[in-house]
């Protein structure tokens, strides 16, 4: 099919910042796009050819939207998977596949998938209800500390808690969950794998992530990761194996731990453009968004190596501020070398809300990292 000059329609489930950045590339290639989102204020409301209002978790909304497009993709995992399955049966190309999303949407199922496919991940126990954990501890079947994770709909740090004492369990929702061994790690790494319908496969360089200690959100993404070659090789191989195990089409971001012994353990995956790949817009030969588009349209993949070193800083709402957003000192950071702010267009800020990101690129990665710190110290996302 000739995507560039026909009646082809691409559907995107979700109209947030990831969709917004994806639309830059659909616009670049003049691909006709339809976006479904529940908010009339969604960042994708402009730049898509058609914007449809609807609940992504509603079967009919997703099904009826999907029937109008040729290829359907997502920018958020929390969508109605039954509708995707019905659409697949009726010939719509759905990337990622409904089966993959069903596996990933539930953290217990996702972990079992790694075990079944001989992919390394931290040991864990599955519980139908959080309340069962106390009993497991009492019987010696589980020892603290461990990481409690809600099985369903965890996203960016919500639904995750480190449990060191019994008190930490108090107040947690009584839902299906897992208790994962707390792995002391040197680094959190991520590799984005891209695979086309024809089976062409490539990986972006391994990135290194630094998390905000309280918000459990990424603070810096450093590309390429400053790790030994053999560790990068191992992480890349595991990411490739994961993409193949899912028979995945499109982007798959594989988040991993590098343990004290330099073992690699998969933390979790995201089957879409991902926060750990934003620096590819400025640093890589091909951005993750363009690459996702190439993959799901079965076009040849672009180069995945870096032009220059890249560091990404998330712009999250400062603590203590809720209301109409103000990007304090944005002019200050724009004076710095190789700094590009990306503002997602959300009008309201609140503590830790992702409002944008800043990319810092430099031929010298250490210099980029130094400037990133200056960026982090200067800019503040506050309210009026």
Binding-site positions read 107, 149, 180-183, 188, 267-268
Q: Is 111 in the site for a second copy (CB under 8 A)?
A: no
Q: Is 90 in the site for a second copy (CB under 8 A)?
A: no
Q: Is 105 in the site for a second copy (CB under 8 A)?
A: no
Which of 338, 352, 365, 376 is close enough to bind a second copy by CB under 8 A?
A: 338
Count CB atoms within 10 A of the CB of residue 147: 17
Indicate the residue among 158 and 366 with the shorter CB distance to a second copy. 366
Count CB atoms within 10 A of the CB of residue 6: 10
- Distance separating alpha carbons of residues 33 and 74, to the nearest angstrom: 12
- Distance separating alpha carbons of residues 9 and 125, to the nearest angstrom: 43
Which of 8, 29, 59, 185 is close enough to bind a second copy by CB under 8 A?
A: 29
- Alpha carbon of 49 to those of 9, 84, 272: distances in Å? 9, 22, 21
* Region from 68-76, 77-85, 138-146, 327-335 binding a second copy, contact rule CB under 8 A: 327-335
How many whole angstroms from its chain centre is CA 268?
Answer: 10
Indicate the residue among 4 and 211 with the shorter CB distance to a second copy. 4
| Token pair of 343 as six digits | 């503002």
| Minimum distance from residue 323 beta carbon to a second copy (Å) | 11
* Region from 8-16, 77-85, 224-232, 338-346 binding a second copy, contact rule CB under 8 A: 338-346
Which of 109, 341, 370, 378 is close enough to bind a second copy by CB under 8 A?
A: 341
Nearest to 262 by CA among 292, 297, 288, 225: 225
Q: Is 2 in the site for a second copy (CB under 8 A)?
A: yes
- Distance separating alpha carbons of residues 167 and 365, to the nearest angstrom: 43
What string of H, E and C letters represents the secondary structure of 197-231?
CCCCEEECCCEEEEECCCCCCEEEEEECCCCCHHH
Which of 164, 226, 233, 303 is close enough to bind a second copy by CB under 8 A?
A: 303
Are 39 and 18 within 8 A, CB to CB?
no
| Minimum distance from residue 68 beta carbon to a second copy (Å) | 17
Q: Is 39 in the site for a second copy (CB under 8 A)?
A: no
How many CA within 13 A on the CB side of residue 9?
Answer: 15
Indicate the residue among 12 and 299 with the shorter CB distance to a second copy. 299
Computed over its alpha carbons, how large is the radius of gyration of the chain? 21
| Minimum distance from residue 274 beta carbon to a second copy (Å) | 18
Q: Is 47 in the site for a second copy (CB under 8 A)?
A: yes
Q: Can you give the binding site for a second copy, defined by CB under 8 A?
A: 2, 4-5, 20, 23-24, 27-30, 46-49, 285-286, 290, 294, 299-300, 302-303, 307-308, 324-327, 330-331, 334-335, 337-345, 347, 361, 363, 384
């Amino acid at each position: 099919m000739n995507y560039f000059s026909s009646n082809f329609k691409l559907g995107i489930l979700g109209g947030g910042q990831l969709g917004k950045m994806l639309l830059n590339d659909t616009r670049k290639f003049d691909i006709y796009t339809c976006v479904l989102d529940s908010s009339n204020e969604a960042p994708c409301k402009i730049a898509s050819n058609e914007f449809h209002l609807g609940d992504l978790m509603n079967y009919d909304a997703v099904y009826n939207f999907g029937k109008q497009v040729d290829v359907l993709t997502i920018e958020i995992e929390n969508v109605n998977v039954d509708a995707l399955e019905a659409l697949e049966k009726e010939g719509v190309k759905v990337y990622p596949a409904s089966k993959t999303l069903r596996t990933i949407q539930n953290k217990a199922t996702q972990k079992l998938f790694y075990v079944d496919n001989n992919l390394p991940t931290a040991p864990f126990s599955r519980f139908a209800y959080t309340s069962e954990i106390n009993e497991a501890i009492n019987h010696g079947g589980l020892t603290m500390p461990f990481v409690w994770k809600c099985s369903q709909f965890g996203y960016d740090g919500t639904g995750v808690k480190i449990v060191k004492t019994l008190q930490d369990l108090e107040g947690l929702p009584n839902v299906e969950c897992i208790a994962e061994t707390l792995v002391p790690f040197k680094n959190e790494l991520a590799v984005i794998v891209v695979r086309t319908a024809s089976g062409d496969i490539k990986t972006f360089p391994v990135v290194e992530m630094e998390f905000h200690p309280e918000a459990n959100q990424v603070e810096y993404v450093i590309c390429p990761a400053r790790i030994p070659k053999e560790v990068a090789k191992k992480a890349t191989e595991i990411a490739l194996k994961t993409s193949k195990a899912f028979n995945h089409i499109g982007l798959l971001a594989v988040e991993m731990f590098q343990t004290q012994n330099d073992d690699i353990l998969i933390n979790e995956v995201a089957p879409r453009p991902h926060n750990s790949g934003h620096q590819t817009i400025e640093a890589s030969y091909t951005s993750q968004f363009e690459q996702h588009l190439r993959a799901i349209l079965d076009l040849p993949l672009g180069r995945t190596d870096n032009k220059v070193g890249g560091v990404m800083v998330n712009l999250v709402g400062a603590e203590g501020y809720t209301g109409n957003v103000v990007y304090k000192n944005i002019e200050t950071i724009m004076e710095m070398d190789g700094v590009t702010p990306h503002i997602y267009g959300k009008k309201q800020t609140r503590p830790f809300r992702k409002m944008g990101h800043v990319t810092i690129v430099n031929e010298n990665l250490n210099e980029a990292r130094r400037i990133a710190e200056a960026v982090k110290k200067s800019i503040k996302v506050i309210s009026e």
